Amino acid sequence: MEIYWKAIYKYISEDIKYDWFTSWQGFDHLKFLQYAPNTEMRNHCDHIHSMFDGVKKGVPILTVIGLLNDDFSGGEFTMFDDEPTGLGKGDILIFPSSFMYPHTVQKITDGVRYSASSWVF
């Protein structure tokens, strides 16, 4: 979680460099994902209004993805009409959760893909 927090903080405070971007409330705990052979995540965006409807209230504004292993085949993380992102083991990718950033995990052909996701809201 600390690695994710540092990546989020760096992205917000150093990379986007907008003093006016102060409306974020926090981020969700990591969700660990496991993709077995012949599974995939179809094209979608993470701007989900019901994602935080319990104790935490809000709509995701940033998506945070981390890849935890590389001993699998297939399973590329793609964006923008199946453009591979080059996400590798240990990488963290942060992008807006809006409809303008649809993404997929291509079908796993061999091995098991492990990743972690979180959202800033």
Which letter does DSSP use for residue 30 in this model? P
Which letter does DSSP use for residue 70 in this model? -
pLDDT digits (tens, 9 = 90+) for 63-103: 999 999 999 999 999 998 888 999 999 999 999 998 899 99
What is the per-residue DSSP string for 100-114?
T--EEEPPEEES-EE
Beta strands 73-74 and 77-79 are unpaired
Return the domain boundaries, the chain.
2-13+33-120
Look at residue 40 and tell me whether its pLDDT is greater than 70.
yes
Q: What's the predicted TM-score (pTM) here?
A: 0.80
Three-state secondary-structure class, residue 58:
strand
Distance, in Å, from the CA atom of 60 to the CA atom of 45, rounded to the nearest integer, reads: 10
What class is the 2-13+33-120 domain?
mainly beta
